[in-house]
Amino acid sequence: MIGAGAWGTALAIQAARAGAGPVVLWARDPAKAAAIAATRENPRLLGIRLPDAVRVTSDLPRDAGVRLLAVPMQRLRAVAALLAGSAPLVCCAKGVEAGTLCLPLEVLAEACPHAPALVLTGPNFAHEVAAGLPAAAVVAGALPAVRAAVTARLASPTFRLYGNDDPVGAQLGGAAKNVIAIAAGAVIGAGLGENARAALVTRGLAELGRLAVALGGRSETVMGLSGLGDLLLTCTGAASRNYTLGVALGRGESLAAVLAGRSAVTEGVATAPALVARAGAVDLPICRAVAAWLEGRITLAQAIADLLARRLRDE
């Protein structure tokens, strides 16, 4: 497990729970690795003890059978460049790389061309997975045998995994939901009501469907765990960093102040402009409004007015 944040630690715990054998949890910072190893607890998952099968280290593992990368999207390329060998890579990051506009698996294809790569995505909060609460996710990739091998190592009675052969659609669901969640939070923070949030999330799903098909994914993927499922969780859950960012901004707090008070990355902030740029001419009014608002080109009031003033048409 590459990355000892909340999600990486939760997946290391889940791998041990699933009986995957010895699990290595890698943290870049030696002091952080030593602290987690000594206490058997990650401060981001308080009260949840690491199983004995999980070994924590700052030395990058070289002989793993499967490597999961749970690092922020904007750091994925740098971390992947440290890896060698042909063991399968499972990307657990969601978003679009700023600058290159690459999706996670495109980054891995460039950084680790000799390793088959998949994406693990879906409606999952780290603390719930770590605690063993029921959850489901998708393992998306082109090779059925590799999907099956990864699923066998991670699945357990409380963590149900589904294979998927549409990694493009699965990745776009994970990226777009963070942007739409910021908008959903802003609606609640600004006091616009539950009706407005439900309408926004539904139209956001329509945007995701158009985007997935335009970029080579399938519309049915959007209706699964990596699309609708992840969107519902991220746009309503109080543990969602993107949703709570939107709530704070909707209440009038500044973006800089909110981000300064957080230790974890809020992926939707960097993803919004990158996703819009990658989309090209695809009609994404909500995502485009969020990107413009976060960049300070329009106000929240202007974004809301522009969305409500769009031409009336059939659904």
Which domains are delineated in the chain? Answer: 6-165 (3.40.50.720), 168-308 (1.10.1040.10)
pLDDT of residue 50: 97
Q: Which of 67, 127, 147, 177 is catalytic?
A: 177
| Arithmetic mean of pLDDT, 86-106 | 96
| Alpha-carbon 169 to chain mean position | 13
Tens-place pLDDT, residues 181-207: 999 999 999 999 999 999 999 999 999
| Mean pLDDT, rounded, for 223-227 | 97
pTM (two decimals):
0.95
Q: Average pLDDT for residues 265-280, to the nearest whole number?
A: 96
Give the mean pLDDT of 221-234.
Answer: 97
**pLDDT band, residue 68 (cuts 50/70/90):** very high
The string of pLDDT tens digits covering residues 129-148 is 999 999 999 999 999 999 99
- The conformational region for residue 282 under phi > 0 = left, psi -120 to 50 = alpha, else beta, is beta
Residue 170: its pLDDT value, please? Answer: 98
Residues of 233-267 as b/e, b for ≥16 C-beta within 10 angstroms? Answer: bbbbbeebbbbbbbbbbbeeeebeebeeeeeebbb
- Is residue 94 flagged as an active site residue? no
